[in-house]
Structure formats: C-alpha cells, structure tokens
Amino acid sequence: MSSDTIRVGIIGCGMITQRSHAPGFAKVGGVTITALCDPVAENAVKVQKEHAPDARLFSDWRELLKAGLVDAVSVATPVYLHAPMSVAALEAGCHVLCEKPMAMSSAEATGMLAAARQAGKVLQLNLSRRYDPFYQTIAKLIADGRLGELRHIRAIRMHTGAPDQGWSPTGTWFVSKKHGGGIVGDIGVHVGDMMLWYFGAVESISAVTATRRSDIDVEDNATALFRFRSGATGLLELSWTSAVNRMCFEIHGSDGILLGAAPGEGLQILRKQGTPEQIPPTQYLQGVKNSFQCFADAIRGIASSPAPGEVGCAIQVVLDAIRESGRNGGRQVAIAAG
Ligand SMILES: NC(=O)c1ccc[n+]([C@@H]2O[C@H](COP(=O)([O-])OP(=O)(O)OC[C@H]3O[C@@H](n4cnc5c(N)ncnc54)[C@H](O)[C@@H]3O)[C@@H](O)[C@H]2O)c1
C-alpha cells in the first residue's frame, strides 16, 4: 500500500454500504477499504467478500477507531448513531463521510461540525443529489440564468412504502423515532437539500405531518411550505403511503418553468412563447464526481467537497423546523439567519 493511500473504514454494512459505499470506495484510485464494522457479522462478511477482501472485521466501532487501521471512516448506520460515531472518529483524527440525514437534531449536527473544525479534518455528507449529474445540470441552468429570477419550487416525492417495506427489510429503525426514523429525515433531507441548494437560505417553514401506518411512531407523510430569504416560496410534499411512486418537481423563474422528475429522465423548460425546450440526459454535465471520489479529493486538498458539514447543518435546521411545525399544528417556525 503506498504511503498516500487513503485507508477507509466503513461503519455499518447494511443496504447503502452494500449497494453504494463499498463498491463506490473500491473503485476510487488510491483508496483502500481496510476495516469494516457491523454488529451483524453476516453483513460485514458479505461486504468483505464482495468488495474488500483485505479488510479487517469489527463488531464494535470503537475498537475499529482504536486499531489504527484507518485514515477516514464512512458512517452508514441508523441516524441516532451518526453524531456519536462521527465525533469520536474526528477526535481520533479520521476524516468522516457521514450518511444523511446528518443527525437527530441541528444541535447534534453543530457539534459534529465543531468537532471537524477542531480536528482540522474533512466532514462530508452523503447528500446524494450534490453528486448527481442530473441535479448538477439543473444547478448550472439556474446559475446561468436560464430561468431568470427564481420565484417558486414545488417538489413531490411519493412512495408506496417506507424503507423497511422495500429498500431494507431489516431496517426497522427507519420507522422508529428513537433511532432517527421518519420520512422528513429520510427523504425530506434529499429534496429539502435540493431546495436550499437552488434557492438559498430559508426564512420560515410551516408544515403538516401525519402518520398513516398504525405500527410506527414516526411521520410517514409531510407537506411543508418554505419561505426563502430571497422572497421566493416552496412547497415540499412527501409520502410513504402513496398508491403509486411519484417523483417530480417544478422550478418557477421569471423567464420560464423547469419541469423534471428523476435522474435518467430529460428536463423541460416551458416559456411564455415558443415550444418547450427539451434537455435530454445526453446534454447533462459530464464528469460529475461521485461522493466517494469527492471525499478522497477533499481529503487530498484537490477540491472542496460539494456537501461539507456546513451544508448538512443548514438542511438539518430545516428538518427540525418541519418536525416542530408539524407537531404544533402547522405553526410557522422562523429560521435564524445563519
Ligand atoms: N444517501 C442515500 O441516498 C441513502 C440511501 C439509503 C440509506 N441512506 C442512509 O444510510 C444509512 C444506513 O442506511 P441503510 O439503508 O444501509 O440501513 P440498513 O438498516 O440497511 O443498515 C444499517 C446497518 O447499520 C448496522 N448497525 C447498526 N448499529 C450499528 C453499530 N452500533 N455499529 C455498526 N453498525 C451498526 C446494522 O446492523 C445494519 O447493517 C442511514 O443513515 C440512511 O439514512 C442513505
């Protein structure tokens, strides 16, 4: 192993690690997965066999941090563990890639950011849209002024089930409050992060939340109204109890409306006159780096991360506000200027 190889430990070997983190890190040049941790041994063994044959296995993440085998860790565990694991890793001198949502609350997220600054280490969030050519292309269209002044965004993400009913059948924590579950943190973080990315800081939030499933103690539906500091408005609609899956958004500007659905599909811009402009996937930005390459580049000082701890903290404040407003019958929650 060359001396500038980045040695990565992955904490949590569940679905996202099996599908994304382990294969993702395995493909980044100059990065080696040297340690894997999961109390469910079969999950760690599966990842070791498929992606990291030389990694040492741990059942206790504190032992992994003590072993001196890693320069960086990827925290891919249930949400209630993100802050304690990330802070301990940063204090142990490791860079951290933390899964979304960053934490249980903005207080925890702020503590993580402080720990990263204190340690002088990279803290990156795996806010997937930031590393996706589809969403990067929209950001560029907006930055290039193709929609004019932004006025409104409407984003819908409706699912027929929660993650424990599809994505990760053993992941009951996704629908458990004490473990950090709920649709606001799980999906709201992605869509909300996109809204902040394109529209900037939020001034206030009003939201209604609902729990339709009878066997869970978290919200599985949420609708939130955003007022941005720019004066623009937004509407975020989320469900885990929809009859069919539906994902789409509209971005309204003074010069046109951008319509989109999901990565892999085209974009359309409606204008006052003329036929709508079609932007096929072949015209999306090329060379957008995935999260794992971005993390390695940030550690090496080649490029700053598209989703550093500051970005994670900003969306965490909004998630807290959605939940608070939902608990209080939709009462408007003001967000302090950051
Ligand atoms: N970025 C994305 O698009 C995306 C998609 C899915 C999940 N996620 C996030 O990834 C994280 C993990 O989600 P998942 O789908 O893999 O869930 P999962 O339930 O499939 O896996 C979680 C894993 O963490 C392990 N774990 C639990 N306690 C642990 C501990 N103390 N130490 C080490 N491992 C422990 C579990 O045994 C399990 O293997 C969550 O934060 C989730 O929100 C992100």
Atom of ligand 1 nearest to the CA of 126: 1
Distance 54 CA to ligand 1 centre (A): 22
DSSP string, 246-295: EEEEEEEETTEEEEE-STTS-EEEE-SSSSPEEE-GGGSPS-PPPHHHHH
Q: 238 to each of 44, 157, 207, 328, how far by Cα in Å? A: 32, 5, 11, 18
Q: Which phi and psi (to 5°) does residue 155 adopt?
A: -130, 130
Residue nearest to atom 11 of ligand 1 (CA): 76
* CA gap 108, 97 in Å, rounded: 16
Give the tokens for residue 14: 């569940």
* CA gap 230, 233 in Å, rounded: 9
Per-residue pLDDT, averaged over 125-136, amounts to: 98
Atom of ligand 1 nearest to the CA of 81: 31
- Count Cβ atoms below 10 Å from residue 257 Cβ, excluding itself: 18
List where CATH 3.30.360.10 sits in the chain.
130-288+316-334
Assess whether pLDDT exceeds 80 at residue 21.
yes
Ranges assigned E (strand) in 183-253: 202-210, 221-228, 233-239, 246-253
Assess whether pLDDT exceeds 90 at residue 58.
yes
CATH architecture observed for domain 130-288+316-334: 2-Layer Sandwich (3.30)
pLDDT digits (tens, 9 = 90+) for 209-239: 999 999 999 999 999 999 999 999 999 999 9
pLDDT digits (tens, 9 = 90+) for 139-165: 999 999 999 999 999 999 999 999 999
State whether residue 301 is helix, strand or coil. coil
* CA gap 199, 231 in Å, rounded: 10
Distance 14 CA to ligand 1 centre (A): 5
Among 13, 15, 59, say which to mutate for ligand 1: greatest number of ligand atoms within 8 Å of CB: 15
Question: 6-128+291-306 has which fold?
Answer: Rossmann fold (3.40.50)
CA angle 44, 79, 304 (to 5 degrees): 90
List where CATH 3.40.50.720 sits in the chain.
6-128+291-306
> Number of helices (H) and strands (E), helices first, in the chain?
11, 15
Assess whether pLDDT exceeds 80 at residue 262.
yes
pLDDT digits (tens, 9 = 90+) for 159-211: 999 999 999 999 999 999 999 999 999 999 999 999 999 999 999 999 999 99
Distance 77 CA to ligand 1 centre (A): 4
